[in-house]
Structure 1
Amino acid sequence: TAVKAATRPGRLSDGDGLYLIIKPGGAKSWVCRVQRHGNRRDFGLGSAKKVSLAVARERAREVRAWIELGLDPVFERRKVLGFPTFREAAAKVLAASKKSWRNAEHEGQWSSTMEAYAFPYIGDVKVDDITGPMIRDLLAPIWLTKPETARRVRQRVGAVLDWAYASGFRESEAPMRAITKGLPRQPKKDNHFAAMPYDKVAAFLTYLRKRESFSRLALQFAILTAARSGEVRGATWDEIDLESGLWTIAASRMKASREHVVPLTEPALRIIRRCAELRLPTSDLVFPGMKRGAPLSDMTLSKLMKEMGEPYTVHGFRSAFRDWVSEETAHPGDVAEAAYRRGNLLEKRRIMMADWANYLEGRKRP
């Protein structure tokens, strides 16, 4: 009777952390408030129209019991309701991701790799039951025969499981680092984007610094930021924020046509400061070319690689960075692959890029 009669907006207590929330529009809902180790959390228990006081009290007791046992009530409730299979979770991720893709080709590739290599092994397995060995088993048949495809499958499986973790359907993130460690090292083959093994990049960077030119500074910057050659060569001074340590690339200059914000580590900032000292008054480019007002050409950086006796491409340093992320760190795959904007993902990227810089400088994380 009291629940039905309550009309004033606010919060009414039933005791033991159970509250009836009345919104200004008249909607009523149940919330259970719990506190443990100094942390307070509220858990919604449903609408008062559909959930009676007796049921709300029972659900509140259930939440408090889970908390006392050290369990996450959100995870436990979703476990009762049922978790999605990997196939169902992949459909959710695909629907959310394709909004940002420029064409249907990405969707087709994403779907075809899942259908061919992931779904036969784990498509019908609940996301909370998928283990590292299962992922390793689906990657093993193509790891050496189709290395590029295998890496893409690994990244996409990781993205689906990271979504499941973020959505409360898994208790842990995807164990991609351990999975990669359990697979043989992929041979590097000569191709258009031949990549230098990441464990050789630090020594190469040291050698690169022995002489100075705009082309060498640009290549160093590309390695430290894991950016594309064209993005680096076209960088302008108005894109650089030294105070915040950010490089903001306009959507018009990005392959994905979306603004890209890159956090700059201290080694990268040192390069920018040095370029500021060498800045040409006639150019807005951070790394100007020989011709007035023109950027460095792609051939300039390729020629530099050949002059240094390296058979690798400039673009290959991006692959070296991604290989390092997957094989040597616990950073999620989506942080290494996404187009970064301001927010929590940018801060994760800042930490990851600092780790990359420390790796190249031979330092450990402070």
Structure 2
Amino acid sequence: MGRLSATSVKATKEPGRYGDGDGLYLVVTPSGSKSWVCRVQKNGKRRDIGLGSVKKVPLALARERAVKTRMQVEVGIDPVSERRKEAGIPTFREAVSLVFAENKASWKNQKHRAQWLSTLERYAFPIIGDLSISELDGHHARDVVAPIWLEKPETARRVRQRIGSVVDWAIGKGYRTLPLPLAAMDKSLPRIKSKPVHHAALPYVEVPQFLSYLQGGDSIGRLALSVLILTATRSGEVRGATWDEIDFENALWTIPAERMKAGREHVIPLSPSVLALLQKAATYREARSPLVFPGQRGAKPLSDMTLTKICRDAKIEAVPHGFRSSFRDWVAEETTFDGDIAEMALAHAIGNKVEAAYRRGNLLEKRRVMMNAWGDYASGTAENADHA
């Protein structure tokens, strides 16, 4: 006969753990919720296994479940795994396979498909592969990305995003009700790089629609903003562009050092989408002005407010500079391009040794492939983008 009774279970309010006997405990939390736990021990290891809420599991049923749990443990069966199988809830490993099977046909790039799966197999499966998708929490995801957060930040971001996608799928399938607390998880990890100034950015998935909106009108301001988006450049760099900086034959735009924030010459591979926009801009060309995007007075460039006003008129929560973040997020979350290549496309410093290593290789062509892919994506022709 157990030490607890239905009456005492109902009357108990004080937070704590109350034993019934044979490893069965009533657990009362400070918030007042009550649940059952069965404490078992096997091979010197102690383990508490939840048996359900008091609201759904009365004392008599809790005792039956405790007996069953102890018997399963005694013969080497994991009660939690058995319960999961009975409920049909997949492990994280199984959920990944299902998500991959459902989505791989829509992922046009073969390398992206392979790396989506391989990163989870390499970094997530050894830690959370056998964990039920319903039990996966923020601290589990943190355990996966923490070892590579500083060493491989780009990979860590992708793994984090993919774990979140699998969890979102599980919510849609009814295997769980809550998403991962990714924002809290991020705050618990070391800061990689401070960003003192935040510029409102349009989510990259909304960029194609906005670019289509821009090209639905006919003005030098819309052309300038379109080029800014597709080249991931700063407002001043686009507004101050001159025709002698543009090399149509080699599809290159060379911005001299004196016009760059970092004081270094910056060469940008021009995608077919940008070249088409520049050809259109040429129809506005004025003989007395060398500017690609002249203002109303011709001799002076467009004002920064002109581009900002276009965004405001479109009623989007973004500023021109924010499209650099849109581009960067797209690279990180939708492609397999190296993060350092993306940083160089943004004219950010990445360290002399790293940059020297890239310059020994075919750096410009790697960036050209990336910018062509961004142009295809933003212009709505991403099926042909090569995310190599």
Identify the residue that residue 9 of structure 1 maps to in structure 2.
none
Distance 2:156 2:162 in 1: 10
Deviation at 1:176, TM superposition (A): 5.1
Mapped to 2, the partners of 1:362 and 1:186 lie a distance apart of 30
The residue that corresponds to 1:365 in the other structure is 384
- The 8 Å contact of residues 133 and 179 in structure 1, kept in 2 or not, is answered as no
Deviations 1:47-77 (A, max 9, x none): xxxxxxxxxxxxxxxxxxxxxxxxxxxxxxx
Q: Does 2:173 match 1:182?
A: no
Residue type of the alignment partner of 1:365:
N
CA separation of 1:296/1:157 partners in 2, compared to 1, >3 Å: closer, same or farther?
farther
Measure how far apart 1:186 and its partner are. 6.6
Q: Which has the larger radius of gyration?
A: 2
Per the TM alignment, residue 310 of structure 1 is displaced from its structure 2 partner at its CA by: 1.6
* Match among 263, 266, 276 for residue 270 of structure 1: 276
Q: Give runs of aligned pairs for residues 23-62 of structure 1, distance below 5 A.
A: none
Give percent identity, aligned residues only: 48
Per-residue CA distance 1:261-292 (angstroms, 9 max, x = gap): 10000110011111112201111000001123
Q: Amino acid of the residue matched to residue 161 of structure 2?
A: T
Paired residues in the alignment total 208
Task: Give deviations 1:82-109, integer Å, cap 9, x for gaps.
Answer: xxxxxxxxxxxxxxxxxxxxxxxxxxxx
Secondary structure of the 1:247 match is strand
Instruction: Please report the TM-score for the alignment, with normalisation by the length of structure 2.
Output: 0.48
- Contact preservation (8 Å) 2:286, 2:298: no
> Is the 1:218–1:233 Cα contact (8 Å) retained in structure 2?
yes
- In the superposition, the TM-score normalised over structure 1's length comes to 0.51
Contact 1:245 1:263 in 2 (8 A): yes
Aligned to 2:364, which of 346, 350, 358? 346
**Structure 1 pair 307–347 and aligned structure 2 pair: CA distance change class (3 A):** same
- Compute the displacement of 1:326 (Å): 0.2
Alpha-carbon distance in structure 1 between the residues aligned to 2:163 and 2:222:
37
Q: Which residue of 1 aligns with 2:93?
A: none
Q: Are residues 1:225 and 2:234 paired? A: no
Supply the distance in 2 between the matched residues of 1:261 and 1:287 (Cα, whole angstroms).
Answer: 19
Which among 237, 262, 285 is matched to residue 279 of structure 1? 285
1:196 to 202, 209, 233: 202
Which runs of 5 or more structure 1 residues have no equivalent in the other structure? 1-130, 145-149, 162-173
Distance 2:302 2:198 in 1: 20
Distance change >3 Å, CA 277–CA 179, structure 1 → 2: same
Contact 1:176 1:330 in 2 (8 A): no
Give, as a single letter, the amino acid of the residue that structure 2 aligns with 1:254: M
User: 1:335 and 2:329 equivalent?
Assistant: no
Aligned to 1:67: none
Counterpart of 1:350 in structure 2: which amino acid? Answer: R
1:111-260 equivalences in 2 (<5 Å) = 132-133=123-124, 157-158=151-152, 174=155, 177-183=158-164, 192-260=198-266
Supply the distance in 2 between the matched residues of 1:361 and 1:271 (Cα, whole angstroms): 12
Tell me which of 299, 302, 311 is aligned to 1:305: 311
**Structure 2 stretches lacking a partner, 5+ long:** 1-121, 129-137, 165-179, 185-196, 349-354
Q: Which moved more, 1:335-344 or 1:195-204?
A: 335-344
Tell me the secondary structure at the aligned position of residue 182 of structure 1: helix
- SS of 1:315's partner is helix
Secondary structure in 1 matching 2:206: helix
Go from structure 1 to structure 2 and tell me whether the alpha carbon gap of 1:211 and 1:323 turns closer, same or farther (over 3 Å shift): same
Q: Counterparts of 1:268 and 1:204 in 2: how far apart (Å)? A: 16
Q: Using the TM superposition, give the Cα deviation of residue 133 of structure 1 relative to its aligned residue in structure 2, in angstroms.
A: 4.6
